[in-house]
Amino acid sequence: MKTLFAVAMLAASPAQGATENTAPLQEATAANVPIRADAGQIAKLLSDEGYRAKIETEDDGTPFIKSGSSGRDFTVLFLGCDGGVKVGPCKSIEFYTGFTIGKRFPMERTNEWNAKNRYGRAYVDKDNDPVIEMDLHLDAGGMPRAQFVENLLIWTDVMANFDTFVFDDGDSAKKKK
């Protein structure tokens, strides 16, 4: 039995002087690093996925990321920071974009969106323009990269669908029924 164990150990270990290719292992490990509410990490992920990502800061030092998809800009905001970003980690992020349409966006249309759509919270801002947001909770260990990317794709779909919804006056949607 001892001989069998020793032979198995030798077969499992690399030959003396051989080098191992650790690149796949490093890539797999990087892919398994949980995504947290960290501006540098999220900006790199966005960039890796083909989005532009520029980190900027509010006057109080809180970071945010400017990005975009399909010709529409969006912002990644960092929320739930313990005593401010400089003191403690943030717990969540929010994807955010607002639309300027040149007229008051009807509350009924906002309610229509919220009643019919599962992802993306819509509201009218102080300038009566429509806004869409989607939050991701990243506390308690973060989120696997693949899940974060899937949520990013959901966000870009929500944003594109809301864009169409905002610039459709509602009458053409009624005609389609």
Confirm whether pTM is higher than 0.75: yes
Instruction: Report, as an integer, the average pLDDT of 12-40.
Output: 62
Tokens describing residue 165: 């919804």
Q: Domain limits of the chain?
A: 36-176
pLDDT of 12 over the 70 cut: no
Does residue 35 contact residue 138 with C-beta atoms inside 8 Å?
A: yes
C-beta of residue 105 within 8 angstroms of C-beta of residue 124: yes
**Would you say domain 36-176 falls under CATH 1.20.1260.10?**
no
For 101-121, what is each residue's pLDDT tens digit?
A: 989 999 999 999 999 999 999
